[in-house]
Structure 1
């Protein structure tokens, strides 16, 4: 196309200078005029392109769809159309184009020619195809939900598992009820608990775990995370959910818990017998001082073994869901002072100062025996990880709706990347391992379980080399 001079048709000037590929196309498909942008996009000279038709520039797999729309426009069925298709570059590679076509007619309605606009979307299309490949090949199920709660898209991995919770089919709307169970494997989820419904309410969460499937033998476990999808102005466009299967992991953990519980039960009876006979043997006046010292060593280690078995049984109770809380009014101040006094001898032996900061009396409705377990574990933990000359303080106070118990120490502290793991079963921090501090990694897990059973929360603030503070918050419970 030649340069347009002064007085030229404004439309021709627009066509010529447009940064988007533009062409005037004859009724037979031949390119009558093309601009420089289209020439550069397809790698042909302007004059060379005007000797070709769009049919020979179009990828064979996309030609039929283009011709159908082209003929519908000529027949008067449509005035314009839009199509994403592939063009063949002069160098032999493919160029993806977003094609918009409009038919120009004379005043009497006779078709004259087509005006085509082609936006080069090759880079965007390659990115889309890459994302599509990732979307379909990842090992987690992916789901996209629109702002109205309707399912917009899911990958093959997610679709393959939909028959388990919804054997009769899914209506494609968030919150539909099916064979979806809480982590106990018995309690069916209500609509408000369904991960898809929670996501449509604007929630974001990680590792929301549950079971799906009516038959316990074939039931599967999933961990779901959700994130909100937002537009440029922050408006909510929907939610994206990722589903990861955890069936084998949870079943393995259950087998492990059952094994631990079984072994602990089997160990408890002979240990009780051993400790009884050791006590009788220790009181035997015929023992020499050397023999008595050896008996005391055996007894001390047997007591440690009994404490470990007790912890394992406690963990087993939690795993089976049989941890029971027996509420009664208890003076927590007296409970804290008694626990500190019981730990004072151990503290003195380690050269550690131990103190209490509490009101004269603070009565709350709790399971006194279980809260004493919490206190004993936290105090023992604080003393174990404190250095000679350090201090441990147990603090008790109340708020308008809760009771707060804190145990602080000036010990070795816990690394920031380990804080979130301290309440997990059998976890031992790097500092404890390096300094060969004895322990099983069960005490804090038991603390967490007891506090959770009370409807409370336990948290940790720690700094390496400066110490730690464990904070237990128990809600006020009415009688």
Structure 2
């Protein structure tokens, strides 16, 4: 019967796809099957007679020895262990080892029967997964720390508008906007006001409601809170999040505190309005006295001519003061234009000639390509402002030896005014904000050049009030081209 059992064991070892070996209680390998030899990279004769301890990884040897001792002592009949083996080529193999001890009839240990399953790939995969999970957890902790540390309110909402995550900063804003508590859903109205700080913001205009619908935007300004001492102004931006198939998953919103900026704008507007009012009073007096002088019949011709020049420039100065007052008080209003029959070419030519002294003083060449005449219904004073501002802007930011070129032409049903320069150019990030009130690019040249940041804003306001549009094309270091298109209304066709 014992012979039959041994024959069956040898047969099983020979055909088993799992590594198998028979070892003595002392650790000598008595039999090793082909699967174990292939797994460990040894020939059969190299393993038989050797000790299993010789092929065990040093770091796992003590554990295996302890389990063998416990089994021999009768404390257990078998054991299972994930351990490392050292192959003949020096590579490490992870094995899932199962060991059982056979005893004779009187209980004396006969030999161990071991089965070894190669789990190296699974072990490596598990280690990689563990490393990846550890990395993910570390990044998650880092993101969470940054999420709560940044001085910007951050909100994540799902497709239904439910708030999934809100950082500490935004929680502060929500306490101001919703003193009675927030329901955790987008579109909840509360103490949220438009940019004027007075008009309650309607539900459909709330950034969270707009973001839920997939709307993406930047710099939407609003106020939260009704107490003047604690209320804050916020600039809100939103970006959609989407599933792999492109469908809307939700949105991320950022709320930046711009209270100091908004209050500074208000103070600036009040200051500009005050200065404008103060300037208007003496200007009105000057214009009044000029009108009285011009009515005198005893003035020499040259004096009358000089008074006309003074009167014309005083009138222009009055309009500039009016525009300054306008941009301070009516940022969202439209400039009023008074269209009369005029020669646009003559208006542009006068502005061109008036800029010659400035061009000569800065060493910049000034050239023009103008038609002999271009009759249109326009506001000559406003058009002159556009040309003055664009030409002055080109001269200020063009170095000596450069050129500013003015071109006027009729293109289909529009007149096209173009002012090009070979100056310092405008960075792409500044182009989008170039026509905003008081905006000046953050460069050393701009900082050292006198200006209010209103000229281009007035240009856009006038052009748009005339039903046109203005655009700038620029490259840093190569210059800029400002182009204004205004509908060409010929006298008699209006």
TM-score, shorter chain, exceeding 0.5? yes
CA distance 1:155–1:312, change in 2 (3 Å):
farther
Partner residue, 2:167:
155
> CA shift at 1:174, angstroms?
2.4
Q: Which SS does the other structure have where 2:176 is aligned? A: coil
Partners of 1:473 and 1:216 lie apart in 2 by 44
Partners of 2:380 and 2:177 lie apart in 1 by 42
Q: Which SS does the other structure have where 1:162 is aligned? A: helix
| Correspondence list, 1:103-252, <5 A | 121-215=133-227, 218-232=230-244, 234-252=246-264
Partners of 1:227 and 1:154 lie apart in 2 by 15
Instruction: Deviation per CA, 1:388-431: give whole Å up to 9, x if none.
Output: 775311345467xxx57442223425232543453341637858
Partner residue, 2:369:
355
Partners of 2:260 and 2:150 lie apart in 1 by 19
Contact 2:431–2:472 (8 Å) recurs in 1: yes
Partner residue, 1:339:
347
| Correspondence list, 1:59-70, <5 A | none
Q: Is residue 416 from structure 1 mapped to residue 430 from structure 2 by the alignment?
A: no
Contact 2:193–2:224 (8 Å) recurs in 1: yes
Contact 2:423–2:478 (8 Å) recurs in 1: yes
Instruction: Deviation per CA, 1:137-179: give whole Å up to 9, x if none.
Output: 1111000011222221111211121133334433323233333
Contact 2:287–2:314 (8 Å) recurs in 1: no
Instruction: Deviation per CA, 1:69-108: give whole Å up to 9, x if none.
Output: xxxxxxxxxxxxxxxxxxxxxxxxxxxxxxxxxxxxxxxx
Partners of 1:205 and 1:235 lie apart in 2 by 18
Partners of 1:335 and 1:182 lie apart in 2 by 44
Equivalent in 381, 385, 390 of residue 393 of structure 2: 381
Partners of 2:229 and 2:466 lie apart in 1 by 32
Q: Is residue 320 from structure 1 mapped to residue 332 from structure 2 by the alignment?
A: no
Instruction: Deviation per CA, 1:246-290: give whole Å up to 9, x if none.
Output: 112111221122112212322333455578889999x9x9xxxxx
Q: Which SS does the other structure have where 1:189 is aligned? A: coil
Partner residue, 2:440:
427
Q: Which runs of 5+ in 2 are unaligned?
A: 1-11, 20-78, 85-93, 97-128, 360-364
Partner residue, 2:60:
none
Equivalent in 370, 386, 405 of residue 391 of structure 1: 405
> CA shift at 1:449, angstroms?
4.0
Contact 2:347–2:380 (8 Å) recurs in 1: no
Contact 1:165–1:178 (8 Å) recurs in 2: yes
Partners of 1:320 and 1:338 lie apart in 2 by 33
Contact 1:221–1:246 (8 Å) recurs in 2: yes
> CA shift at 1:354, angstroms?
2.3
Partner residue, 2:457:
445
Q: Which SS does the other structure have where 1:265 is aligned? A: helix
Instruction: Deviation per CA, 1:21-80: give whole Å up to 9, x if none.
Output: xxxxxxxxxxx866469xxxxxxx999xxxxxxxxxxxxxxxxxxxxxxxxxxxxxxxxx
| Correspondence list, 1:73-112, <5 A | none
Partners of 1:353 and 1:454 lie apart in 2 by 26
Q: Which SS does the other structure have where 1:171 is aligned? A: coil
Partner residue, 2:118:
none
Contact 1:145–1:238 (8 Å) recurs in 2: yes
Partners of 1:475 and 1:184 lie apart in 2 by 33
Q: Is residue 407 from structure 1 mapped to residue 421 from structure 2 by the alignment?
A: no
| Correspondence list, 1:7-26, <5 A | none
> CA shift at 1:195, angstroms?
1.6
Partner residue, 1:104:
none
CA distance 1:7–1:414, change in 2 (3 Å):
closer
TM-score (norm 2): 0.57
Partner residue, 2:103:
none
CA distance 1:261–1:161, change in 2 (3 Å):
same
Q: Which runs of 5+ in 1 are unaligned?
A: 10-31, 38-44, 48-117, 286-291
Instruction: Deviation per CA, 1:120-143: give whole Å up to 9, x if none.
Output: 622221211111111111111000
Q: Which SS does the other structure have where 2:178 is aligned? A: coil
Q: Is residue 460 from structure 1 mapped to residue 468 from structure 2 by the alignment?
A: no
Partner residue, 2:36:
none
Contact 1:340–1:354 (8 Å) recurs in 2: no
CA distance 1:339–1:200, change in 2 (3 Å):
farther
Q: How many residues align?
A: 360
